[in-house]
Structure formats: structure tokens, C-alpha cells
Amino acid sequence: MSPHAFRRTFCRLKVEAGVNLFVLQRLTGHQELETLQLYVQIYGKDLEQAIEKGVE
């Protein structure tokens, strides 16, 4: 395990819990949302679930 892995897990779990991306951006100290996006990658399973729920 690396600090990077913990940071990625933290970000993913917060997004899955419904934390606002701008709040998460402040919590992680990222200047740009594009940087945060690297930590919160959307995987195929997430896309399938979003389609089933009707969420973008």
C-alpha cells in the first residue's frame, strides 16, 4: 500500500457516499477538477449502475 492508494480510495469512497465534488476538491487540496478526476475514475461497473438508476 502507498499513500497514493489510500488517497485514491478516500476519493472514491467519498464520491460513492455522495460528497459534492467541489467539497472533495477542497478536502484533497486539488487546484483543478481535472486532477481530482484522476483519483475518481469511472469504471464500467459504475457506468452500468448509473444507467440503471437513470443518473448521469
For the stretch 2-21, pLDDT in tens is: 888 888 888 888 888 888 88
Question: Got the DSSP string for 1-56?
Answer: --HHHHHHHHHHHHHHTT--HHHHHHHHT-SSHHHHHHHSPPPHHHHHHHHHHT--
Number of domains in the chain: 1
pLDDT value of position 6: 87
Place of cell 467519498: 14
Per-residue pLDDT of 12-56, as tens digits, reads 888 888 888 899 999 999 899 888 888 877 655 665 676 677 655
pLDDT at 16: 81
Written as nine digits, the cell of 7 is 488517497
Provide the whole-model pTM.
0.65
Domain membership of residue 39 as a residue range = 3-53
